[in-house]
Amino acid sequence: MNKKYFKWLFFLIIFFSFEFTCAENSFNYEGNKINRVGFIRIPYSYVLGIAFTDLINVKSEFKNTQKQLHFEISGIRKNNFDEKCFLPFITEMKNLDIVGSVECVQNSKNENEIFLNINFADKNLFLRWYKVPNNNVLRVEIFTEESLEKLKYDVSNNLGNQKFKKLLIDPGHGGNLPGACYFDVKEKNLNLAIAQDLQELLELNGYGAIMTRSSDVDVSLPARVELAQKVMADCFISIHCNASGELNPKVKGLEVYYAEVPKISQLNSFQGGYQFLGMSQSLDVLNMIDKHTQNKVERSKSLADKVRVSILHTLKENGFNTLDRGIKNSPLSVLINNSVPAILIECGYMSCKEELDNLVNRVYQQKIAEGIAEAL
Ligand SMILES: [Zn+2]
C-alpha cells in the first residue's frame, strides 16, 4: 500500500472510532452535572425546576403509600449530582409544608443512574411533572388546594382572556450582565433603548407600560417574572438582541419566542405524569389546568406571530432589511414561568455587522418598538 492510501486509512479509522464513541456516549455521564435548581412561586403553583448540563433520560413513578415521587434519572452519576444546590429549596419547601424530604441515591445496578425521591408532606396537593423537551430540565409543579380554588375562580370568570391593557416590558440583561457584546456595543443597552421607545409609544396609545428595569441594573429572572404578578400586568414582553458566537454576516434576522406547556394528556410522552394527593381524582381539575395553561400558550403564540409580522412590515416600510426567522417555541424561564401571556423578541443578530449597524441606529430601534406597539 502506498503512503497516500495509508494516510486515508488512518483518517478513516480515526473518523469511525470517533463516530462510534460519540454514538455510545450520547449520554455524557462524566460531564453531566446539575446546572441549576430553582424553586419559585407562580400564581397557581410552586415549581421545582432542575436543569442538567447534558442529556438525561427520566422514568417516574408515584409511590402512593410513601407519598413519594420517585425519579430514575439516567445520564448522570451520583458524584456529579450536587445535593448542596437543593438545600435552600428543600428548607423552603419544608417551611411551606409541601415536602418532607428530598433524597438522592445511586442505582446499585447502574452507575450512570440515580434515584431522586421527593417525599411529600401530609397535605392535599395536585402534582404534575415532566421533562422539558430538548432542554434537560425536569419540572415538578405543585398545586395546593388554595391555589386550585384561585385558579377555579379565575378560569370560571374568564380572567386571563381580556384584551391587553397593562404590559410589562422586560429589557434583557443589565448591570453586571451585559448580554452579547460586539465592537463595544453591549446588548443590555440596545435592549433598554428599544424597551424605552416601546414604553413611550404604549403610554401614548393609552396602555399601561411598566418596565422590569429602567436603568442599567441587573434584575434576576425570577424577580422579572414575579413583577408581572405584583403589578398585575396582563402581558409580558422581553426584549433581547441575538448573537451567534463568531462574527458571521450570514446569520441575521428577527426571532420571536413563546413557550409551550404540555397538556395533561401529553405528560406521558414528556417522561412525566400527574397525581392527586389527599384529594380524589377530578376530571374538572385536569380540564381546568389544561384550559388555563393552553389559553396562555395560545395567546402567547398568537402575540408572537403578530409581533413578528408587524416588526417585519414596519422595518420594510421604512427601507430596512432583515430576515424573518419565524416564531419559536422555547422553555425560556421568563416565558414558561410567567403567569400571563409572554413573548421574547430577539430583535436581530449583533454578530452580523450589517445588522449591528442597524441595531445601534435610533431610527431602527424606534421602528422595532413601533412594530411591537402596532401588533397589540
Ligand atoms: Zn439576551
Q: Please indicate, yes or no, if residue 9 is contained in any of the structural domains.
A: no
Q: How far is the CA of 304 from the centre of ligand 1 (A)?
A: 17
Task: Please compute the mean of the pLDDT values over residues 251-277 and round it to a whole number.
Answer: 95
Using DSSP, state whether 214 is helix, strand or coil.
coil
pLDDT at position 26 is 65
Question: pLDDT, tens digit, for every residue of 168-207?
Answer: 999 999 999 999 999 999 999 999 999 999 999 999 999 9
Asked if the model's pLDDT at residue 104 lies above 60, the reply is yes
Residues 6+ apart with CB under 8 A from 328: 255, 256, 257, 258
Cα of 242 vs centre of ligand 1, distance in Å, is 6
Instruction: Determine the distance separating the centroid of ligand 1 and the alpha carbon of 205, expressed in angstroms.
Output: 27
Could you identify the residue written with the cell 396537593?
125
- pLDDT value of position 183: 95
> Which structural domain range is residue 120 located in?
34-156
Q: What are the contacts of 177-183 at 24+ separation with CB within 8 A?
A: 177/218, 179/240, 179/241, 180/241, 180/242, 180/243, 180/350, 180/351, 181/350, 182/243, 182/247, 182/350, 182/351, 182/353, 182/356, 183/353, 183/356
Statement to judge: residues 297 and 207 lie in one domain: yes
Give yes or no: residues 53 and 181 share one domain.
no
Tell me the sheet residues that pair with 167: 209, 235
CA of 109 to the centre of ligand 1 (A): 43
Question: CATH number, domain at 319?
Answer: 3.40.630.40
Tens-digit pLDDT profile for residues 208-257: 999 999 999 999 998 999 999 899 899 999 999 999 989 999 999 999 99
Give the mean model confidence (pLDDT) for residues 360-368: 98
One domain for residues 125 and 206: no
pLDDT attached to residue 321 = 87
Q: What is the DSSP string of 143-180?
A: EEHHHHHHHHHHHHTTTT-SPP-EEEEEE--BTTB--S
Counting beta carbons within 10 angstroms of the beta carbon of residue 27, is it exposed (0 to 12), middle (13 to 18) or buried (19 or more)? middle
pLDDT of 7 reads 59
Could you tell me if 106 and 198 lie in one domain?
A: no
pLDDT band at 133 (very low <50, low <70, confident <90, very high): confident
* Domain assignment of residue 275, yes or no: no
Position 258 scores a pLDDT of 97
Same domain, 121 and 98: yes
Q: Domain with 127 in it: what CATH number?
A: 2.60.40.3500
Residue 273 lies in a domain: no
HSE of 180, CA atoms in CB hemisphere, 13 A: 22
- Lowest average pLDDT, out of 133-137, 335-339, 357-361, goes to 133-137
- Distance from residue 241's CA to the centre of ligand 1 (Å): 5
Q: What is the mean pLDDT of residues 37-59?
A: 89
Q: Identify residues whose C-beta is under 5 A from ligand 1, the ion.
A: 172, 179, 240
10 CA to centre of ligand 1 in angstroms: 44
User: Do both 314 and 337 map to the same domain?
Assistant: yes
CA distances in angstroms from 319 to 102, 363, 364, listed in the order given: 58, 11, 10
- Least Cα distance to 128 among 321, 286, 301 occurs for 286
Quote the number of domains for the chain.
2
Question: Are 222 and 190 found together in one domain?
Answer: yes
239 CA distance to ligand 1 centroid (A)? 8
